């Protein structure tokens, strides 16, 4: 993982409990791409949250 550390935003340290299989898949995917698992997880979370339906739209859908 020879990628230089460049942070454009302040970072926080946090922890998640992952199923063993998901952890293995993350580690494997990161290794295959020569990326850190942290980098890959951050990108995946960003993409997921960017495509998440806003909560107020969910309420409208449920009320119908």
Q: Do 14 and 42 meet the contact criterion of CB atoms below 8 Å apart? A: no
CA–CA gap between residue 52 and residue 46 (Å, rounded): 10
The burial of 6, by beta-carbon neighbours within 10 Å (0-12 exposed, 13-18 middle, 19 or more buried), is given as exposed
pTM of the model: 0.72
CA–CA gap between residue 15 and residue 9 (Å, rounded): 19
Which DSSP category does 45 fall into?
A: H
Break the chain into its structural domains and give their ranges: 20-63
Comparing 6 with 24, the larger pLDDT belongs to: 24
Mean pLDDT, residues 22-39 taken together:
98
3-state secondary structure of 57: helix
């Amino acid at each position: 993982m020879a990628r230089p550390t460049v942070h454009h935003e302040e970072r926080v340290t946090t922890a998640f409990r992952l199923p063993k299989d998901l952890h293995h898949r993350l580690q494997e995917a990161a290794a295959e791409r020569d990326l850190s698992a942290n980098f890959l997880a951050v990108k995946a979370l960003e993409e997921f949250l960017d495509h998440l339906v806003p909560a107020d739209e969910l309420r409208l859908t449920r009320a119908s």
